[in-house]
Amino acid sequence: MSFQAPKGVKEYVPPQASTFSAIRAAFAETARRAGYSYLETAVFEDTQLFARGVGESTDVVSKEMYTFTDRGGRSLTLRPEFTAGVLRAVLEYGLHRGQLPVKVWANGPVFRAEAPQEGRYRQFYQLDLEAIGSEDPAVDAETIALAWQWYSALGLTRVRLLLNSLGCKECRPIYRARLQEFLRGLDLDEATRARIEINPLRVLDDRRPEVRAQLENAPLIGDHLCADCKAYHDRVKQLLADLDIPWEDSPKLVRGLDYYTRTTFEFDHPLLGAQSGIGGGGRYDGLSEAIGGPPLPGIGFGLGLDRTVLALEREGVQLDTPPRCEVYGVALGDEAARAMFRLLSELRAAGVAADMAFGGKGLKGAMKGADRSGARFALILGERDLAAEAVQVKDLTTADQTEVPLAQVVDVLKGKLQ
């Protein structure tokens, strides 16, 4: 077969896929317990949603989006992030007219045209959570805490929380002018100089060593916060401290999207090298207006499933995943196969993971299949067993074998598997 997955597309196959699924299921439960409802959004959107929402000057919009023209001549883009699309859906379906904040979460593939490397893919997977319609430090702290508690529940111990505030429409312009003044005096290329005039905070996010060296003495937004923003940020940190969640001040943390205001945060894992950011987010109080909606504050995050899988591997954490198979059926003869087929259906209906040997295999080949399945028990059913209305139950860990009446086998196995 000559076909392969496109370059930069991360795929998950068994057994690693079970870890991926368990991570997602754990997040779903974390979100549910905090009152968040699931939201399924479009994989592609009107290109202008991202241009206006994420920002024309960002690398995401200017360099990394997968944009195409459909047969109707419309410009569409595969989602490069979740927040703009989630907010669009909240506004379109009027969720903001009900109880606030609107608390939703989503997950799925995200697409960016980047140079593929470990931890950075062109198709990758995110968990997204948004709280829309409330400007309250407690909502910010809750959002951060949910991600932190999820990482902890997975067994990760090396995650670091980086925290900053990007100010508001009152204090940000003052800092912006001060930062522009500083940046104009640096030795920067023309593209970066152009960025200074459009969105100077984005220069602080530049990863090139020669640029970062020149930013050592750049003015910090934390020194220019207004009284309200400072009090807001202090309250967020106080609430996190109440939950014993440690953070590190990161005064140059701006993230890569234009819509962030006030609380901004990132989760970092030091064992992942250059791609150490495994999640992050922040407040976006002006995003609704930017895409044509009413004033509607919000905060949220995106967590990378791919990098979380890598972080678990780096720390040597093995998740407890549901068994693929607990009981494996071995039928000898056509009538026994028919009876086994019915029996497996009953087991599955009772909540037992069950499989069987297909294709009329003999006892030796079928038992090899039982061993490979990972099942704890094998059910062996032949003509004599059918005549006796019984089945042989073999414990594959001890090799002990007992005869159990067919009418009782489901209850017996459920008792043994508890």
CB 61 within 8 A of CB 360: no
Give me the pLDDT at residue 256, please.
Answer: 61
Mean pLDDT of 297-319: 96
* CA triple 151-153-156, angle to 5 deg: 50
* For residue 99, pLDDT beyond 90: yes
> Would the annotation count 126 as a binding residue?
yes
Contacts of 233 (CB under 8 A, 6+ apart): 165, 225, 262, 263
77 is in an annotated binding site: no
Tell me: is residue 377 an annotated ligand-binding position: no
- Whether the predicted pLDDT of 258 surpasses 80: no
116 pLDDT band, cuts 50/70/90, is confident
- pTM for the whole thing? 0.89
Q: Which of 58-72, 99-113, 363-377 has the lowest mean pLDDT?
A: 58-72
Q: Are 95 and 292 in contact (CB under 8 A)?
A: no
What CATH code would you report for 15-168+226-315? 3.30.930.10
**Residues 283, 229: contact at Cβ < 8 Å?**
no
Is 248 annotated as a binding-site member? no
- The predicted-structure confidence for 310-360, as pLDDT tens digits, reads as follows 999 999 999 988 889 999 999 999 999 999 999 999 999 999 999 999 988
Q: Is 82 annotated as a binding residue?
A: yes
Q: Do domains 15-168+226-315 and 327-413 have the same CATH topology?
A: no
Listing DSSP states for 190-241 in one string gives: HHHHHHHHH-GGGGGG---HHHHHHTTT---GGGS--HHHHHHHHHHHHHHH
pLDDT at 35 over 70: yes
Taking 80 as the threshold, does the pLDDT of residue 259 lie above it? no
In the sheet where 44-46 sits, what is the strand order? 44-46, 75-78, 67-69
Strand partners, 393: 379, 402
CATH among 3.20.20.140, 1.10.3720.10, 1.10.10.2160, 3.40.50.800 for 327-413: 3.40.50.800
* Residues 390-418, mean pLDDT to the nearest whole number: 94
Question: pLDDT tens across 215-252, in order?
Answer: 989 999 999 999 999 999 999 999 999 999 999 999 98
Q: What is the pLDDT of residue 411?
A: 95
Q: What is the reported pLDDT for 313?
A: 95
Q: Quick one: pLDDT band at residue 418, thresholds 50, 70, 90?
A: confident
Mean pLDDT of 357-385: 93
Supply 336's token pair.
């026994």
Whether the CA torsion 406, 411, 415, 418 is positive or negative: it is positive
**What pLDDT, in 10s, does the model give residues 138-178?**
999 999 999 999 999 999 999 999 999 999 989 988 998 99
The pLDDT, as a whole number, for residue 155 is 96
Q: Is 259 annotated as a binding residue?
A: yes
pLDDT above 90 for 15: no
Burial 349-377 (b: 16+ CB within 10 A, else e): eeebbbbbbeeebeeeebbebbeebebbb
Query: Backbone dihedral region of 387: left (phi > 0), alpha (psi from -120 to 50 degrees) or beta?
Result: alpha
Whole-number average pLDDT of the chain:
93
Q: How confident is the model at residue 303 (pLDDT cuts 50, 70, 90)?
A: very high
Indicate the domain borders of the chain: 15-168+226-315, 327-413
Mean pLDDT calculated for residue range 33-38? 98
Give me the mean pLDDT over the 192-215 stretch: 86
Distance CA 181, CA 35 (A): 45
Q: Is 93 annotated as a binding residue?
A: no
Q: What is the model's pLDDT at position 85?
A: 96
